[in-house]
Amino acid sequence: MSLSELISGVAAAERTLTVFNPTPGVAERLAEHFADRNVSVESASSDEGPSNYAVLGTGDTFHTAVSIDDLLRRPEDVEPGFERDSYAPILDHLDETLFTSYDRRQMLNATREIEDRAWRVGAGELHSGFQSGGNLRPQLDTYRRLGGRDDLSVHAYIYPNGEVPQADQFQLHLARTDEIRRSWFVAYDGNGVGDYKCALVAEEPEPGFGFTGFWTYDPSTVDYIVNHLVSSYSIIESDGSGDDADGRRRMTVRPKGCR
């Protein structure tokens, strides 16, 4: 199953956010707030429980209950710092719910949440897809810092359609596939600990039209994403003869099934 097929599967499962005892205008604000998410907002009354709380579910399956204030909190712009209290995380209880039309700022904010978790644990594997070398270049300092973190193994994937950035302290994988060219992803394997695993997967159907995708904390889904990347884009050779003079590694990868 490709990353695109994973996204399609999430798109097929619409979630319902039921707002109990809302004050006037709250349900409308939530509907606007989640206009780019695959979420249906409904209002309900209850004789028990507080006002302005919401329950998220899929069909008859309960996912979580959360206050309206938490749902409406807007994330701040994020700079590469990895200090957990320096920003409000964009990732919330709506994991594995489709989002649409996310711009690059929103994608970067969500990506930082996962990178921050990998940084704090300091071990395991982090796999990130940047589409092109031009998108990776502004993040090089961040990924060099991540790659130098204890026992953290960092892998970056790009479609080589121009000058390839110089990579050190992490492995740069080059893949000429539509999946790598169109996909923005970041997956952290949690160093084998289920509670630490998380991933973001999105695709950009056409440049400039925004990203569609989802994020997940589900260990099995994260494992699938990581295994898909490792098995589909196996390293076949260094770009050139061995390491560069300064120790940089540029890896050409062969998509599964290619010869």
Q: What is the pLDDT of residues 202-250, one digit of tens each?
A: 999 888 789 999 999 999 999 999 999 999 986 544 444 334 333 334 4
Q: What is the pLDDT of residue 26?
A: 87
The residues pairing with 251 across neighbouring beta strands, listed in sequence order, are 173, 238
Domain boundaries, the chain: 3-72, 84-255
Mean pLDDT of 77-82: 43
3-state secondary structure of 129: strand
Residue 158 contacts residue 172 (beta carbons within 8 Å): yes
How do residues 106-142 score in pLDDT, each as one tens digit?
898 889 989 999 999 999 999 999 999 999 999 999 9
Helices (H), the chain: 3-11, 26-33, 68-72, 104-121, 133-136, 140-147, 178-182, 219-232
pTM of the model: 0.75
- What is the distance between the alpha carbons of residues 218 and 71, in angstroms, rounded to a whole number? 21
CATH of span 84-255: 3.30.870.10
Q: Which residue has the higher pLDDT, 7 or 58?
A: 7
Closest to 196 in 3D by CA, of 121, 146, 85: 121
Angle between helix 104-121 and 140-147 (nearest 10) = 20
Q: pLDDT for 155-194, tens place per residue?
A: 999 999 878 888 889 999 999 999 999 999 999 999 999 9
Q: Which fold has domain 3-72?
A: Glutaredoxin (3.40.30)
Residue 26's nearest CA partner among 76, 62, 67 is: 67
pLDDT single digits (tens) 38-58: 788 889 888 776 778 888 888
pLDDT at 38: 79
